[in-house]
Amino acid sequence: MLYELRSYDIRPERWDDYLNWAYTTAWPILFEAHGFPLVGWWQVVPNADEPPSSTNLQWILAWESEEQRNERWAALLDDDAWKAAVAATRDPASGDRLYHLRTRYRFLRPLPRSPLQ
C-alpha cells in the first residue's frame, strides 16, 4: 500500500468558496468518476505550541501501487471535465489561482505495526 499525503495552503479568505468548489465540482470527478481512494480529508487545526502554518487542508489517498496512482492521475489530468474544473479555479483576467497558494504531496509507506497497511 502506498499512501499519498496532499497538503494545501488555501487562501483563508477564500476557504468557503474553495470548499464549495471542492465538494460540488472536484469531488465527483476525483472520487466518483476516477475512483480516487480517499482515506480522509482534514482541515488543519492550529496548535498553540507551534508557529502558525499556512497549510490548512490535508488529505490522504491509499493506492495499491505507484503504478495505480500514476495511471489514475494521468487519466484525471487528461479528463476534459477535470481541465474545466481546474480552469474554474483561475482568475480569467490574470490566470492567478483563486484558492491554492501552494500544493505539496509526499508518499508514505506504513511501518509493520501500523494499523493502516
pLDDT band at 6 (very low <50, low <70, confident <90, very high): very high
The torsion region of residue 41 among left (phi > 0), alpha (psi -120 to 50) and beta comes to beta
Give the model confidence (pLDDT) of 48-107 as tens digits.
887 767 779 999 999 999 999 999 999 999 999 999 999 999 999 999 999 999 999 999
Write down the pLDDT at residue 15: 94
Write down the pLDDT at residue 55: 79
The gap between the terminal CA atoms of the chain, to the nearest Å, is: 6
User: Higher-confidence residue: 117 or 88?
Assistant: 88
Q: Give the number of other CB atoms < 10 A from CB of residue 56.
A: 20
